[in-house]
Amino acid sequence: MDGAVEPQLDIDPVIDAWALNALGQLAQLAGVHRVGLAVVEGGGRRLRFTASDRARGAVARWCLVDAYDDVPLNRAVRSGAAVVGTLGQLRSTYADFVDAQGGTPTLSVVAVPIRAAAQVLGGFVLFYDEPTDSSVAFVEGLLAHGARLGQELRVAQRQRVRELDDWVDDTAPGARTARHDLPLDPAAVGEARSFVRRTLKGWGVGEDCTETAVLCLSELVTNAAVHGSGRCSVRVSEESGVVTVAVRDAGTRVVVPTGGSAGGGGADPLAVHGRGLRLVDALASRWGSDLSATGLTVWFVLDG
């Protein structure tokens, strides 16, 4: 991840403060000499990444990385499960990552998802200069850190201010992307369906994937029309067979979880209301939401 291309990212003092606090807390764990931290950006294809040796003062110095790179942190984010092992144990699965640790004190690595209720919001990776404890209690303790950081990240995200037209382009270089703005009324659902179906068909995406995307999109736009305000924007992208669809509206809303909260943390106010998101949860490879003071973006990914 250290070799990732670093586009000019917007500076978000609230998220930076959360990240610097998280890096500081995790760096104090016994045996840890380096910490990496990632936050899922809207669409889930890219991660916003920083590390304890990148931060300078009050600036976290983020870069964007491909969420599909086969490294332990990405696996933890995508699977929602911890990845634990010595470099020798991890080599068979992450050979390039292990080779990149040459010349460093790293002997073991632990990657942990950061989640709030049912959603994975990001993850952290700990680099140890000693063999780690792989016991259930050890892993559960780190998962608890991930759950606490997830709740704190949700609080930070509610303080973000981002206009609807200031949608960060977190798509990978070379990805095909299309966007369509809609009014928030019942007619918007049919218009959005036609836009996504037409766009994916034009890109040569398979019929099954296209129809799944259209079905999931219908639920997101319907939810926005019922609970949102202002206007709505739909963005669809495709890269290497991976389709990402996001719906953003200019109004915030109180919503409920899609079927119980993970970790007993109570209702997640960012989970989308009703059975629609249970359908998206069942059909999509991943989904998530990003809340700002001016709106809510809900996205899903189909791996094709």
Is residue 291 domain-shared with residue 168, that is, in the same domain? yes
Percent of the chain past pLDDT 70, that is, above it, reads: 77
In CATH, what number is assigned to the domain containing residue 43? 3.30.450.40
pLDDT at 54: 84
Pick the range with the lowest mean pLDDT from 117-121, 126-130, 183-187, 261-265. 261-265
Pick the range with the lowest mean pLDDT from 117-126, 234-243, 253-262, 289-298. 253-262
- Does residue 4 lie in a domain region? no
Is residue 250 domain-shared with residue 149, that is, in the same domain? no
Beta pairing, strands 119-128 & 176-183: unpaired
User: Which parts of the chain fold into alpha helices (H)?
Assistant: 13-27, 72-79, 87-90, 95-100, 136-158, 187-202, 207-227, 275-283
Burial of 166 (0-12, 13-18, 19+ CB in 10 A): exposed
Is residue 72 domain-shared with residue 181, that is, in the same domain? no
Residue that wins the pLDDT comparison between 229 and 190? 190
Which token pair is 62? 């983020």
- Does residue 238 lie in a domain region? yes
Is residue 51 domain-shared with residue 101, that is, in the same domain? yes
pLDDT at 51: 94
Is residue 168 domain-shared with residue 221, that is, in the same domain? yes
In CATH, what number is assigned to the domain containing residue 241? 3.30.565.10
Q: Which helix (H) or strand (E) element contains residue 86?
A: strand 83-86
Residue that finishes a domain, picked among 124, 158, 192: 158
pLDDT in tens, 140-176: 999 999 999 998 988 777 665 444 445 555 566 678 9
Percent of the chain past pLDDT 90, that is, above it, reads: 46
Is residue 179 domain-shared with residue 297, that is, in the same domain? yes
Strand partners, 291: 296
Residue that wins the pLDDT comparison between 115 and 43? 115
pLDDT at 281: 85
The mean pLDDT of 70-94, rounded to a whole number, is 94
Structural domain containing residue 246:
164-302
User: Where does the pLDDT of residue 193 fall: very low under 50, low under 70, confident under 90, or very high at 90 and above?
Assistant: very high
- Does residue 57 lie in a domain region? yes
**Is the pLDDT score of 271 beyond 70?**
no
User: Which parts of 51-165 fold into alpha helices (H)?
Assistant: 72-79, 87-90, 95-100, 136-158
Cα angle value 8/157/276 (rounded, 5°): 110
Closest CA to 114 of 15, 13, 238: 15
pLDDT at 125: 98
- As for how many domains the chain has, the answer is 2
- Phi first, then psi, for residue 287 (nearest 5°) are -150, 165
- Does residue 246 lie in a domain region? yes
* Cβ within 8 Å of residue 208, ≥6 positions away: none
Instruction: Give the C-alpha separation, 114 to 15, whole Å.
Output: 14
**Is the pLDDT score of 296 beyond 90?**
no
Is residue 201 domain-shared with residue 289, that is, in the same domain? yes
The chain-wide mean pLDDT, for the chain, equals 81
Cβ burial 235-273 (10 Å sphere, 16+ → b, else e): bbbbbeebbbbbbbbbbbbebebbeebbbebeebbbbbe
Instruction: Give the C-alpha separation, 98 to 304, whole Å.
Output: 29
The mean pLDDT of 243-259, rounded to a whole number, is 63
Is residue 59 domain-shared with residue 170, that is, in the same domain? no
Is residue 170 domain-shared with residue 130, that is, in the same domain? no
Is residue 126 domain-shared with residue 169, that is, in the same domain? no
User: Where does the pLDDT of residue 55 fall: very low under 50, low under 70, confident under 90, or very high at 90 and above?
Assistant: confident
**Is the pLDDT score of 138 beyond 90?**
yes
- Does residue 261 lie in a domain region? yes
pLDDT at 236: 93
**Is the pLDDT score of 100 beyond 80?**
yes
Direct distance between the N- and C-terminal alpha carbons of the chain, in angstroms, rounded to an integer: 25
Is residue 152 domain-shared with residue 35, that is, in the same domain? yes
Supply the DSSP symbol for 37.
Answer: E
* Cβ within 8 Å of residue 64, ≥6 positions away: 4, 5, 6, 7, 9, 41, 46, 47, 48, 49, 170
pLDDT at 40: 87
pLDDT in tens, 2-53: 444 455 456 577 788 899 999 999 999 999 999 999 998 766 678 889 999 8
User: What's at 137, amino acid-wise?
Assistant: A
- Does residue 3 lie in a domain region? no
The mean pLDDT of 211-232, rounded to a whole number, is 84
- Does residue 2 lie in a domain region? no
Which token pair is 51? 């590390």
Is residue 256 domain-shared with residue 130, that is, in the same domain? no
Residue that finishes a domain, picked among 136, 158, 180: 158
Residue that finishes a domain, picked among 101, 124, 158: 158
- Does residue 38 lie in a domain region? yes
Residue that wins the pLDDT comparison between 109 and 46? 109
